[in-house]
Structure 1
Amino acid sequence: MKTRLELFLVAVTVIAVAGNPLRKKLLLISFDGFRWDYDQDVDTPCLDQLVQDGVKAKYINPPMLTMTGPSHFTTITGRWAEDHEVIHNVMFNTKTNLKVPYKETLRRSEWWDNGVVPLWITAQNQGLRTASFFYPGGGANYSGQTVNRALVESYGHPDDNETEWRQNIDKVMRWFSEEDFHLVTLYYGEPDNVGHAKGPDHPDRKEIIKQIDRTIGYLREAVIRHHLTDSLNVIITSDHGMTTVKKRPQVDEIILNKFVNLLKLTSFEILDYGGFGILTPRPGKEQEVFHALSNVPNLTVYKKNELPESFHLSKSKRLPPIVIVADLGFNLNSRFIVYINKGDHGYHNGEMDMKTIFRAFGPDFKKNFLSEPFDSIHIYPLMCELLQIKAAPHNGSITVTEKLLLDSGESTSGGSKSYRMSVIPLMSMLLVTFAVA
């Protein structure tokens, strides 16, 4: 037979997790490579309507690195890359020279699981059900814990099928309405792909933005169809922007082996990958490599321990000793030109072409509210507030984004403050009841 204390603890757990009628659900959607101004040269009625019906940030500052894996993981953890250690799209090992392409890393837990707990796991540990639909990091195992439901994008999977986009929304809406999921993260690979292949100024990029806009319209209709209007908050964002890669005569391309003998002086490199490069000099050769690269035009070379504090990279244990950041629009080549992209990212996160979007709507968000820009790390505590859970350690602050939310008197849920106000009296009554029982 249970003691009074045991009964009390059971009752509190029921109230705090399952018995909270005020808790809202949350959908986080990421459109990869959606630059902050992509909707300004295209007719986007649905995105425009979101400005009236929800909140918009002028733009979001992505973290360094402005790449898909690192930036998405910063959003879902609220941690800088030097903390979560997903410091490239390519999974690598400087000692073995292992290099694993991005799509193949999505199931490699050893790349993602570095002691930082993503939001899915934090929410699950507090009684919520979570799912990841193609979101980077969602398919990994975190110290034995996995996301309740995770779909991982396969290599070669097409990213621009509009019919499939709508089917994915329908599936996610059923997870919320029929299976009582609390948090779902949904990832789309566009407009990143078209930005790389055609460049950010190409007409095909504008067509993809129109497709995204139609998808947002379909999403809003689906929310109504599934009777989620009063119970689902939606955040729409991205990981980085995109810039046009300058295509000049070969003599003007950055070919690093012209300036430093990579085979002789370095033991590891990732250089043929957009605007960001890393390498490990051979023992005793760091200063020689650094000095040689310092004379290369159209880039900046850093020693890891001298990286700007704003990069939040220098504390990383994974990052090699030498970091290279190309000037905007220039691509890095190691020994010869292999790079064919017409648009790219990976550049300094202070560049406006690397900035990205933020939109949100739902019962807890203000309407017709325009926010000043903020760093993407602050999205994490905002999501914890919406889900009414205790956040894991993070680098963000709810004070940056709380102005996006309705005040407790206006909101249908009132956020976690309202939740605490409703739970505390119940807990007090339970204490009295069990004390006199």
Structure 2
Amino acid sequence: MLWALALGLLWASTILAAPFENKPRQKVLLISFDGFRWDYDRYVDTPNLDQMARDGVKAMYVTPPYLTITSPTHFTLLSGRYIENHGVIHNMWFNTSTQEKKPYYQSQFVNEWWDNGSLPIWITAQRQGLKAGSLHFPGTASSYQGQVAMVREVEPLLYNYKNETAWRENTDKVMGWFRDQDLDFVSMYFGEPDGTGHRYGPNSPQIRAMVQQVDRTVGYIRQTAEHYGLKDRLNIIITADHGMSNVYRNGLVEEITLSKIPGFSFKDVSFHLVDFGPSGMLLPKPGRLDKVYNALKGAHPHLHVYKKEEMPERLHFSKNGRILPIILWADPGYVINGYFPVQFHKGEHGFDNQEMDMKPFFRAVGPAFRQNLEVGPFETVNIYPLMCHILGIKPEVNDGHLNATQHMLVTSSGTQGEFYQANEPPPWP
């Protein structure tokens, strides 16, 4: 009798401790559609994204880390760390001593820029016995503590990010990785609608057409997962790195051009990162920090100027040796020019992450997720611990919190189909 009671207790404790143990091992596909703003689906018909929301989870929006540009925010998705902690502080690798700068694509191959102490989820998963891959995701080209994603593909130089046929071919390839090589985790990157938003602006007919292309691709991704026999095991998380904002030009506003500001001179600066959108950093020459800072502070009503140590704590963008002593950013609609205007984009990102135009979208569907659930906003830093939880791996040290997203999962208490109203106590911190 006692033996039977003990056996029953052991059985019960096993069930409670491992809710997924009797199910097939969960897989995760993390997809980023670069620059997909949280509200893009409001302006065009997106039947596949709408169906994904009914079949899974939709967030009102998510908040990326600052600086809201591609490589830093993507590495936050992979590591669960704020940018000051993971150290990939810009799209561009740079050397303040030699004045050298590498553009986005070339920076992908500068290993020490990425391998800076934080591990992407590929390496963590592989160290714990899983198989991981990545297709075109920022950071894929580099190794981390001598290791790389088991299966990986880096896009070639001058790659056409808009080619819808290539999108489908890449989808087939990734689903084949899951089925034929039994991968557990894959990160997959699409370079749109970012490029279209830059060129034509976020309110253009062209961006609406590109959003429809994204929607068709989401439908194809889900159909292909089912065709490859992955529906009951694969959890698909779709999000983005940042949003997009209109840029004011053609005499509508007084543009920010640093060389025209009284008292400021580039002769007082030994290195600068400006002319790359609404954000910038300056390294003043020895003894000239205060001169540069005082000349710029308050010089334009839409230019924010901070010494590194004075940066707002909420931005988590100061405590890293790679961040330069003076940080600049502009209000939405403005870009920062150096000697003279050289930027002609109609859309831009890189603004304060509190700005609504910088918020990306979020969808998730699969056996781990509840259905027809709309949740409130959360920070993208929290996606990493969510993925680790689904995969059943122990996360590295990170800045995210599982309790920000755990209510999305089928193991969370509550019924499907509910929405967390603004006046309810939110289940995230």
Q: How far apart, in 2, do the equivalents of 1:261 and 1:313 lie?
A: 24
Which amino acid is the alignment partner of residue 138 of structure 1? T
Once the 2 structures are TM-superposed, how far is the Cα of residue 250 of structure 1 from its aligned partner? 9.1
* Aligned AA (1:122): T
- In the TM superposition, residue 249 of structure 1 has moved relative to its aligned partner by 2.4
Out of 399, 409, 412, which is 1:405 matched to? 409
**Distance in 1 between the 2:85 and 2:223 partners?**
39
Q: In the alignment, is residue 280 of structure 1 matched against residue 283 of structure 2?
A: yes
State how many pairs are aligned.
394
- Cα distance in 2 for partners of 1:41, 1:251 equals 27
In 2, are the aligned partners of 1:253 and 1:331 still within 8 Å (CA)?
yes
Q: Cα 1:359–1:196, aligned 2, differ >3 Å: closer, same or farther? A: same
Q: 2:5 maps to which residue?
A: none
> Counterparts of 1:29-428 in structure 2 under 5 Å?
29-249=31-251, 252-259=254-261, 260-297=263-300, 298-407=302-411
Judge which range, 90-99 or 301-310, deviates more: 90-99
Is the 2:62–2:378 contact (alpha carbons within 8 Å) kept by the matching residues of 1? yes
3-state SS of 1:246 partner:
coil
Normalised TM-score (structure 1) = 0.88
Between the aligned partners of 1:52 and 1:143, the Cα distance in structure 2 is 41
Deviation of 1:21 (Å): 6.1
1:261: Cα distance to partner?
4.1
The residue type paired with residue 220 of structure 2 is Y
More helix by share: 1
Deviations 1:295-337 (A, max 9, x none): 3211110000000001101101100000001111101100011
Unaligned segments of structure 1, at least 5 residues: 1-15, 412-437
Q: CA 1:250 to 1:236, structure 2 compared with 1: closer, same or farther past 3 Å?
A: closer
SS at match of 1:132: strand
CA deviation string 1:151-186 (max 9, x = no partner): 112221001111110111001111011110110000
Structure 1 CA distance for aligned equivalents of residues 43 and 124 of structure 2: 39
In structure 2, the partner of 1:427 is none
Taking the aligned partners of 1:21 and 1:404, their CA distance within structure 2 comes to 18
Q: Could you say what secondary structure the match of 1:111 adopts?
A: helix
Render the CA deviation track for 1:196-230: whole Å, top value 9, x for unaligned: 00000110100000000000111111011011110
- What is the identity, as a one-letter code, of the residue corresponding to 1:254? I
The answer to whether the Cα contact below 8 Å between 1:107 and 1:152 also exists between their aligned partners in 2 is no
Q: Distance in 2 between matches of 1:133 and 1:51?
A: 25
Secondary structure, aligned partner of 2:405 = helix
SS in structure 2 of the partner of residue 142 of structure 1: coil
Structure 2: distance between partners of 1:380 and 1:220: 22
> TM-score with structure 2 length normalisation?
0.89
Q: Tell me by how many angstroms 1:410 deviates.
A: 10
* Contact 1:57–1:370 (8 Å) recurs in 2: yes
User: C-alpha displacement at 1:246, in angstroms?
Assistant: 0.3
Secondary structure at the counterpart of residue 411 of structure 2 = coil
